Amino acid sequence: MSTAFVEAGVARAVARDITDVIGGTPLIELGNYSRSRGLGARLLGKAEFVNPVGSVKDRIAWAIVRDAEEQGLLSRGDLIVDVTSGNTGIALAAIAASRGYRTKFYLGDNTSPDKRRILEALGAELVTIPNSLFLDPDALVTLFEQVEAENPGAFIANQLGNPANPRAHYETTGPEIWRDTEGSVDVLVAGVGTGGTASGAGRFLKEQKPGLRVVIAEPGDLSIPSEEEVYPDEIDGVHKVEGIEEDRLPPNYDVTIADEIVQVEAAQAYETSRALLREDGLLVGPSAGAAVWVATRLAERPELAGTTIVAVLPDTGERYLSAGVFAPRA
Ligand SMILES: Cc1ncc(COP(=O)(O)O)c(C=O)c1O
């Protein structure tokens, strides 16, 4: 039963709309994957692709819209705008469809073609921004000014800074992991896009168990845009955090949350997504592959033998079929 049903305090067999079935996702044992590698720790995946619109972003999109509705900032027909690598846009557009809003998103020109098609199918207006923009931190500030100027009167969801984002993870993702592991979770592994998942769920879990470790899976140098390679194979949705000045990081990323940051390249993340599919039947995207690759490195450490490691699996792999994640180039 989903968290939304429980939160409402009433047990209902039929959901009123998609927002009723957001959250309450299962923790799944990465059984064959762990056994075939002889891992000494228990590896669990938090299956966010089970959300109704297919990703962890359903949680924050609904939290942001609900918060705006409660504050009287949204009325039927209003326009919701954000800068997104896809999943937040898809979640916002689906929730907007169900509640009578319009959507417009600023989307990188390297966004997976499948995500773009889903956004188009949902009727979202799309503005393409060049990936090279992410080479220049000042350009992002300018982009946000442009977004505000181009959309007067719109509700800017601002997933990077809206406190409803980490709050959703503090109130749902973290407690679900704690409840479903019966308090046995020792390590949480996640990537950072906005930082909402790691900061919100991480904070909740550390409050329950001060010794719990939060480990961030961040893209290695080959997997982020550079002057030489503006379009490398990327781990969609997650960004580098190590060595970045604090005022250049998303406001929703709590810089004190990480106990360790481990680099993973896109090729390793893709390979892990393929392994999870073939060995355990889990069709997940590359940021899930990245988190599990890092969790695997941790599980190989003798000092972590016998611990329980939870890796967040943010979205479904169906969003990356055209991006070649499951059919590697020769
Ligand atoms: C596929 C994917 N994985 C992981 C993340 C990171 O989640 P968060 O924004 O909570 O840091 C995102 C966010 O954009 C994403 O789209």
Q: How many angstroms is it from 249 CA to the middle of ligand 1? A: 14
User: Collapsing DSSP states into helix, strand and coil, what is residue 278?
Assistant: helix
Intervals of the chain under pLDDT 50? 1-2
Among this protein's residues, is 287 annotated catalytic?
yes
Q: Comparing C-alpha atoms, which of 241, 235, 249, 226 is closest to residue 132?
A: 226
Among this protein's residues, is 104 annotated catalytic?
no
Catalytic residue (choose from 2, 34, 55, 287):
287
> Buried (b) or exposed (e) across 192-210, using 16+ Cβ within 10 A?
bbbbbbbbbbbbbbbeeee
pTM given for the model: 0.95
| Cα gap 24→20, rounded to integer Å | 10
Atom number of ligand 1 nearest to Cα 314: 3
Contact predicate 107/119, CB 8 Å: yes
All structural domains of the chain with their residue ranges: 3-52+169-320, 57-156
Please tell me if the CB atom of residue 238 comes closer than 6 angstroms to any atom of ligand 1: yes
Atom number of ligand 1 nearest to Cα 169: 10
> Residue with the nearest Cα to atom 1 of ligand 1?
237
pLDDT score, position 34: 98
User: Collapsing DSSP states into helix, strand and coil, what is residue 6?
Assistant: helix
| Cα gap 323→91, rounded to integer Å | 20
pLDDT tens sequence across 13-29: 899 999 999 999 999 99
Q: How many angstroms is it from 82 CA to the middle of ligand 1? A: 14
pLDDT tens sequence across 196-249: 999 999 999 999 999 999 999 999 999 999 989 999 999 999 999 999 999 889
Atom number of ligand 1 nearest to Cα 315: 1
Taken in order 47, 51, 55, 61, is the CA torsion positive or negative? Answer: negative
By DSSP bridging, strand 42-47 and strand 27-29 are antiparallel
Structurally, at CATH architecture level, domain 57-156 sits in 3-Layer(aba) Sandwich (3.40)
Q: Best substitution site from 58, 272, 283, 287 to test ligand 1's pocket, by max atoms within 8 Å of Cβ?
A: 287
Structurally, at CATH architecture level, domain 3-52+169-320 sits in 3-Layer(aba) Sandwich (3.40)
pLDDT score, position 1: 43
Please tell me if the CB atom of residue 315 comes closer than 6 angstroms to any atom of ligand 1: yes
Atom number of ligand 1 nearest to Cα 165: 10
- Joined tokens for residue 228: 């030489």
3-52+169-320 and 57-156: identical CATH topology: yes
pLDDT score, position 12: 74
Q: How many angstroms is it from 203 CA to the middle of ligand 1? A: 17
| Cα gap 112→182, rounded to integer Å | 37
- Joined tokens for residue 263: 């680099």
Q: How many angstroms is it from 234 CA to the middle of ligand 1? A: 13
